[in-house]
């Protein structure tokens, strides 16, 4: 039971299907999941909201990191070996455990979206789907802070279990 006037209460609109059932060993960004296929199974009640989506070659998925427990304000990201502020990382153990991935949309069949470049755990609850619109979303020349040249290492780096454990480094 929740009694909190500031709370924002969301409900899944669907669920991810992917080959990844264990956080350890999975790709850490769509960049590292090139060619990995999966799906979004949207709940039937939202079918009418999927019209016109097929014209987009990428979609933004917003989802709940449901297997992440607690959060830390400082984390050691997969691509680094020192602590960073969590809001300067894409780590899952965030104050609000919301994930964002820009995945390739292969097709829409009824309530099933076939997707590629999937870096998301099987069974993950999806909260929103938005069309990826380059003139809104693509800024290829921005400065990427501590990632520097490491961001392209996401193509080969793999996750370990650091963000599924709730015991270490939790603060705040």
Using the minimum distance from each CB to a copy of itself, give the nearer residue, 87 or 168: 87
Measured distance CA(4)–CA(57) in Å, rounded: 39
Using the minimum distance from each CB to a copy of itself, give the nearer residue, 8 or 21: 8
Q: Mapping DSSP to helix (H, G, I), strand (E, B) and coil, where does residue 126 land?
A: strand
Least Cβ distance, residue 23 to a copy of itself (angstroms): 18
- Nearest Cα neighbor of 42 from 136, 105, 117 is 105
Least Cβ distance, residue 82 to a copy of itself (angstroms): 10
Q: How far is CA 63 from the centre of its chain?
A: 6
Angle of CA points 107, 33, 81, to nearest 5°: 150
CA dihedral 60, 73, 150, 68 (to 10 degrees): -50
Least Cβ distance, residue 122 to a copy of itself (angstroms): 17
Least Cβ distance, residue 68 to a copy of itself (angstroms): 12
Using the minimum distance from each CB to a copy of itself, give the nearer residue, 18 or 91: 91
Q: For residue 154, give every residue at least 6 positions away whose Cβ sits within 8 Å of its Cβ, in sequence order, or none.
A: 27, 28, 29, 31, 32, 78, 79
Least Cβ distance, residue 154 to a copy of itself (angstroms): 7
């Amino acid at each position: 039971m929740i009694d909190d006037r500031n709370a924002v209460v969301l409900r899944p609109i669907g669920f991810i299907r992917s080959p990844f059932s264990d956080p350890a060993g999975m790709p850490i960004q769509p960049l590292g999941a090139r060619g990995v296929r999966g799906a979004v199974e949207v709940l039937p009640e939202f079918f009418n909201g999927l019209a016109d989506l097929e014209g987009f070659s990428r979609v933004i998925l917003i989802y709940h990191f449901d297997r992440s427990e607690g959060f830390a304000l400082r984390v050691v990201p997969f691509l680094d070996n020192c602590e960073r502020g969590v809001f300067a990382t894409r780590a899952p153990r965030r104050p609000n455990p919301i994930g964002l991935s820009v995945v390739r949309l292969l097709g829409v069949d009824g309530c099933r979206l076939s997707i590629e470049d999937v870096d998301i755990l099987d069974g993950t609850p999806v909260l929103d789907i938005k069309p990826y619109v380059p003139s809104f979303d693509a800024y290829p020349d921005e400065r990427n802070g501590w990632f520097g040249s490491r961001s392209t290492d996401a193509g080969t780096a793999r996750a370990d279990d650091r963000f599924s454990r709730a015991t270490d480094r939790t603060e705040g």
